[in-house]
Structure 1
Amino acid sequence: MSAEDSSVVPGGARERRTPFGVLDDLDRALLRELERDGRISNKDLAARVGVAPSTCHARVAALRARGVLRGFHADVDPDAVGRGLQAIIAVRLQAAARARLGAFARTLAARPEVRDVYLLGGTEDVMLHVAVHDSRALRAFVVEHLSTRPEVAHTQTSLVFEHVHAPTTAV
């Protein structure tokens, strides 16, 4: 971060310019707490960060309006819904197909097996996180939705033995 991307404002608070506007210490504290518990009440959130509930509500609303907070979601255990086998699948596309990378990724993201899709720079073009019932379902997904597609040059599947969730970012 360059010197012009960060500044100290009166009271010693730090501000950081981002593509979503300026984030100050209070914004970052709110984001940290919301990442820990997205269901926290406004009253409890305000108490944790040391501001009035009205200030807290206004700041969270502003973070949502600016697109910093994209939404809230439930973290469902795949085992609990019968999708206990997870895998990470690296996908390399044919060179001529890379122009259609976005459409390819959106198609995969719509599949019920797919938990996350990452578009990459480097050797691989796409990384998928999938959750399926068993190895037979994983094989079927790879064959039916990846290997048989003409735009796919290569796939490499790695099983996930354990997922350790890191709930907070360095905000």
Structure 2
Amino acid sequence: MDELDSAIVEHLQRDARQTNRELARKLGIAPSTCLERVRALRNRGVITGYHAAVDLRALNRPVQALLSVQVRPLSREVIEGFKTYAAGLPEVLSVFVVAGSEDFLVHVAVPDVDQLHSFLLDRFSKRREIVNFRSSVIYQHLSNPVTTPLGPAE
């Protein structure tokens, strides 16, 4: 990734809907060069897709929580099965397989705390492989809209 590639990626993360001409103008390059570079970034797997950011409140999902989940027995089959199960639930935004005392972090968004409680009772309490779970309600969620390359570790 050179500086131009990094600038293209940064601009597209801020606004993926801009036209190739607009992007080229902002970067001070020819539209054909810009298009070539964007295609190369996609082909190299740097740009993996485009998405629309949504407001969870507008979707009646203002309450977010992180669920720490411990499963047993620890086996590939159990881990893959739970990962697939959790990722398929409509309340789930993300599933992270982690190291440490818990095996998963599951990010959910629901209409209210009562729905979170029902989700935990109906979807997690009945799963045989889950031996423990804890929930942490998220008061505020900030994320960086732009991911930039990091230099080599020193």
TM-score under structure 1 length normalisation = 0.80
Aligned-residue CA RMSD in angstroms?
1.6
**Structure 1 vs Structure 2: percent identity of aligned residues?**
40
1:1-171 alignment runs, 5 A limit = 23-171=1-149
Stretch of structure 1 that moved more, 101-110 or 113-122: 101-110
Q: Unaligned regions of 5+ residues in structure 2, if any?
A: 150-154
SS at match of 1:90: strand
Aligned length: 149
8 A contact 1:97–1:151 mirrored in 2:
no
8 A contact 2:95–2:105 mirrored in 1:
yes
Q: 1:67 Cα shift?
A: 2.1
Q: Matched residues in 2 for 1:138 and 1:34: separation? A: 35
8 A contact 2:97–2:105 mirrored in 1:
yes
Q: C-alpha deviations, 1:65-116, integer Å up to 9, x for none?
A: 2222111111111110111111111111113345432332122112111111
1:138/1:62 CA distance change after superposition, 3 Å: same
SS at match of 1:123: coil
Structure with the larger strand share: 1
Q: Which has the higher contact order (CA 8 A, sep 6+)?
A: 2
- Paired amino acid for 1:75: A
Q: Matched residues in 2 for 1:55 and 1:103: separation? A: 45
Q: Matched residues in 1 for 2:136 and 2:142: separation? A: 16
